[in-house]
Amino acid sequence: MAPLVPLPQDLIPFLDRYLPRKDNDDFFVTLTYAQSLDSRISKGKGIQTIISHPETKTMTHYIRSHHDAILVGINTVLADDPGLNCRYCDHDIRPIIIDPSFKLRTIFQRSKLHENCVNGVGLAPLVVIDRHSLVEGHGIDTLVLDVDPKTGKFSWLDIFKALREKGIRSVMVEGGATVINSLLRRGEDGLFVVNSLIVTVAPIYLGSGGVEVSPREGLAVEDVSWWRGKRDVVCCGRLTSEAGRLAADEQGGEVSC
């Protein structure tokens, strides 16, 4: 487990504008990940790849300290065996795993998620499963939803509505690529469900075999700020409103930051 380091003083005020407010009583979604210069988030399918510098890795734990829950897809758990707790300060954050066929059941007992619960340094995960995968006697908290039979996917609105009903008000989404790419798309109502985007870019290339973040359609990011650290840069922004989208279209579909 990489040790955390002190955060540069200017990083905290830079981030705070993009984080949920403490008195937030609406629902807030922050999408955050670390990528290479060629928009890869790992070297290959099922492989954990350290991309962030210790400084930006520590930043992710600072961001965790501002959210009620942290959400990842099941492949990230299988590849990375993440702790999904907050090591920046004493803060309880609930891990949410999107796992329609409930694969976590088979590896949970030997996972870091389980170890953290047993050691009292992490909350028990909540696993979002499809109704058809419901089985008894596993001792894991589940949230049962229906996937769309055509796509095999949950709707993000259903997921976030159900989390809200459980008292969760803010979710930090950490990946992986399937989750990120689908959240970089408008929902059926034409709106994005993501409120803030926080992307670390490291000066490395991971190559064409890497796991790529690239949504199906181009989109503009607005209200953008950049922070430059010892090695990485961090881009914060919000997903485009209709006006931003039109501006992107006028530039021939190119995305400008």
Ligand X SMILES: Nc1nc(=O)c(N)c(NC[C@H](O)[C@H](O)[C@H](O)COP(=O)(O)O)[nH]1
Residues that bind ligand X (CB under 6 A): 34, 49-52, 57, 60, 72, 76, 80, 82-84, 174-175, 200
Question: Contact 160/171 with Cβ under 8 angstroms?
Answer: yes
Binding partner selected for residue 170 from ligand NAD, ligand X, none, CB under the kind-specific 5 to 8 Å limit: none
Binding partner selected for residue 75 from ligand NAD, ligand X, none, CB under the kind-specific 5 to 8 Å limit: ligand NAD
Question: Contact 138/104 with Cβ under 8 angstroms?
Answer: no
Nearest to 28 by CA among 196, 191, 241, 165: 196
Pick 207 or 253: Cβ nearer ligand NAD: 207
* Shortest spacing between CB 4 and ligand NAD, in angstroms: 16
Binding partner selected for residue 50 from ligand NAD, ligand X, none, CB under the kind-specific 5 to 8 Å limit: ligand X
Pick 73 or 244: Cβ nearer ligand X: 73
195 is a site residue for ligand NAD (CB under 6 A): no
Pick 122 or 210: Cβ nearer ligand NAD: 210
Question: Which span sits near ligand NAD by CB under 6 A: 16-24, 66-74, 224-232, 245-253?
Answer: 66-74
106 is a site residue for ligand NAD (CB under 6 A): no
* Shortest spacing between CB 82 and ligand X, in angstroms: 3
Torsion sign over Cα 117, 80, 27, 197: positive
Binding partner selected for residue 178 from ligand X, ligand NAD, none, CB under the kind-specific 5 to 8 Å limit: ligand NAD
Question: How many Cα atoms sit within 13 Å of 138 on the Cβ side?
Answer: 20
The span from the first CA to the last CA of the chain, in angstroms, equals: 34
* Shortest spacing between CB 119 and ligand X, in angstroms: 13
Among 20, 73, 83, 95, binds ligand NAD (CB under 6 A): 73
Pick 24 or 158: Cβ nearer ligand NAD: 158
How far are the Cα atoms of 92, 131, 214, 215 from residue 185, in angstroms, in the given order? Answer: 29, 25, 10, 7
34 is a site residue for ligand NAD (CB under 6 A): yes
75 is a site residue for ligand NAD (CB under 6 A): yes
Binding site for ligand NAD (CB under 6 A): 33-34, 41-42, 45-48, 51, 72-76, 79-80, 98-100, 147, 153-154, 174-179, 182, 211
